[in-house]
Every structure is written in structure tokens, then in C-alpha cells.
Amino acid sequence: MSQYVPGLQGVPATRSAISDLDGQKGILTYRGYKIVDLARHSTFEETAYLLIHGELPSAEELARFDDKLRRNRHVKYNVREIMKFLPITGHPMEMLQTAVASLGMFYPGEECLTGSGSCADLDYVENMTVKTLATMGTIVAMWEHMRNGEDPVSPRADMGYAENLLYMLTGEEPDPLHARIMDACLVLHAEHTINASTFAALVCGSTLAAPNQVVASAVGTLAGPLHGGANQRVLQMLEEIGSPDNVDAWLQETLANRGTVWGFGHREYKVKDPRAVILQERMEELREHKDGDVSPLFDIAVRLEEEGAKRLGPKGIHPNVDFYSGILYAEMGIPSDQFTPLFAISRTAGWLAHWREQLVNNRIYRPTQEYVGERVREYVPLDER
């Protein structure tokens, strides 16, 4: 194929059995299971197992997997020492990429990734999958305390992934509803076909780099506002609007000036993102739980979606997963610059699933280019120019 396609839009880059989506109907599936069913009935641990191993686990298999995750939540003190010397003003995603990139130095074993494209040590693949997924939440939570001059909160083995994550972030046992909502958020963000960060993971993994390097490359890609950073921008946008009464005028002016309505639109979906549907449901559930005492930003968001449906809906532009996720996180007391790290924690399950799939029949990525520069020229010595 020699045709240049900007952004590789629509160009198949791999074959995968991990997830699929129908953008016209708004259906996203993990291994054939609808995301709406998983978000409502599954857990992050079960969903991660499904993505990584290909099938829903039995009760015994899930118990073993969950136990491994719980026993691997602690990180080496060396990683904490590295984090201590990072500037507290830096973005948490920069910290996360640095910390994850260092993990391979403390958990060696990538020598089993041979030039044949397969890993002879399947235990290494499984152990690093569990270790990386388990420690992501710990690293993110550690930073929240360290950058505020406090000691990190140690993980607890008597809590599930989502509940423990909230506990480590706040230092307090979370409201059970908050834990269930966080669990649903982790499920919803865990995988989404070959997006930018997953493609970065595939490219890195195709070189037979260590899994921590694969995840670090994906984290760096996710950090961009056009990918994982949009939910933070949504909150800033809603705060700028200020009131539901201001939505119509703000939207009209923004569209007239060709501005960005953050949280709207997706390259694949031509209807409302099914993940946004679930997140809005969880926000409504939280509002009922709090007797209506939630941030006024939610009402602004609902009004913006209503007005956006009139002006943008006919163009196939609807709310995506970022539109409501930031509001939910903020309601649970999570700082806005931690929204994308939470995305990364969840998406690690998908990244590692793709890494493992890549190893089965690996071929290094080496796309070509369409050269538009100068043709062969004669070199002119400096004193003759």
C-alpha cells in the first residue's frame, strides 16, 4: 500500500480479538461482551482478566487473579525514592511515565523476550502483567500524598481494586457507592480498540521491549489533551460557562469562532458514546445518593448536551467518555490533574492485553513514508556558500 493517509485513519494496523466497536450504533464490546453489561454487572478485576486472558473467569480463577493483584500492590522503596526527587509542580502523568519506566530495573526478566517474537517464560509475561497492573494504582495514589508533603497511604489487601485505590488516594475508607462508581469507571476506560496510546504500546511492544517500557510509552501518548487529557479540559470548560443559563450563548459563540467543545465528538462514534451513557447514569445515581447536593457543573453539562444535540447532533457529534467522567471524579474529591492518571490505571489492562497478543505472532512495526523533501543535491562546502 503506497497511499498516504493522514493519521492512518481507517488503515488496519493489526488483527485483534480484544475489543470491537460499532460507531454507528454506539456499541463497544470487550471480547464480545457489551461494555454496558460489564460496567453494570462486572468488576474491574473480572474485566481485566477477561481482556488479558480472553474469557470470563470462573470463581476460582477470579479469586486467584484478584489475590495476585492484592499481593502485588506494594512498590519497591527505590521507586518511591525516585519520585521524591521529582518536582511537585510537574503533571502527575509525567511522574507516572517516569515511575513506570523505572519498574523494569527493579523487576528484571525481559531477557526472555527473544528475537523470535515469543516469550519462552510465560510466567514472566503473567507475573509482569499482574505486577504492572497492580502497582499502577499505588504509584498514582502515592504521588497525591507525596506532592503535598505527606507520607503515602499503604495499600490494603482486604479491599478490591477500586475501593483500595480510593482509600490510598484519600486516606479514608470510601463511601461504598463511590467505590462502585470508581469500579465502573475503571471498567469503562479499560480498553478501546487501537487508539493512539494502544498503538504506541503495540509499536513499542513489537520491538520486544519490556512491558513496563510498553506501558510507559502508552502513558506518554495518553497524556496528550487530544487523547486522555480531555476530561480535565471539560471541567475547565464547564467552569468557564458558569451557569446553565449561559450555555446557549457560550455554545453559539464557541461554534461561531470555531472553538472546541471539550468532551464532544469521537472519530469512531456517530452517536453518543455508550461509556458516556453509563457515566451519566452513575452521576444521576450519585446525585440521588447525595439528595441533590452535587456540583452545579453537572446541570451545566446536561444543558450543554441538550443544546449540543441540536447544533452538533446532526453532524454526528455527541458526548464522548470524557464528558461526564471528570465531573464524577471531582465529586469523589479527586484533583483534576489526576483524572488522566486514573484513565491510565484502567487502560493498563487493555495495553497489557494487546502486548500479550502482540507477542504471539510478533512483527516489528516499520511503516513507510511519502517523501516530500528535496531530491539528491550536491554538497556545497561551507566557504563556498
Segment (H or E) for 182: helix 176-189
DSSP 251-319: HHHHHHTT---TTB--SS-SS--HHHHHHHHHHHHHHHHTTT-S-THHHHHHHHHHHHHHHTGGGT--B
Q: What whole-number distance in Å separates Cα of residue 161 and Cα of residue 183?
A: 8
Candidates 66, 183, 273, 322; catalytic one = 322
Q: What whole-number distance in Å separates Cα of residue 29 and Cα of residue 8?
A: 23
Give me the residues paired with residue 113 across strands: 119
- Asked whether the CA dihedral 70, 71, 76, 77 is positive or negative, the reply is positive
Nearest CA to 46 out of 66, 71, 29, 18 is that of 66
Q: Tell me if residue 266 is catalytic.
A: yes
Candidates 266, 273, 318, 354; catalytic one = 266
Q: Tell me if residue 322 is catalytic.
A: yes
What's the number of CA atoms in the CB half-sphere (13 Å) around residue 264?
Answer: 26
From residue 101, give the alpha-carbon distance in Å to each of 212, 220, 275: 6, 10, 30
Residues assigned a catalytic role:
266, 322
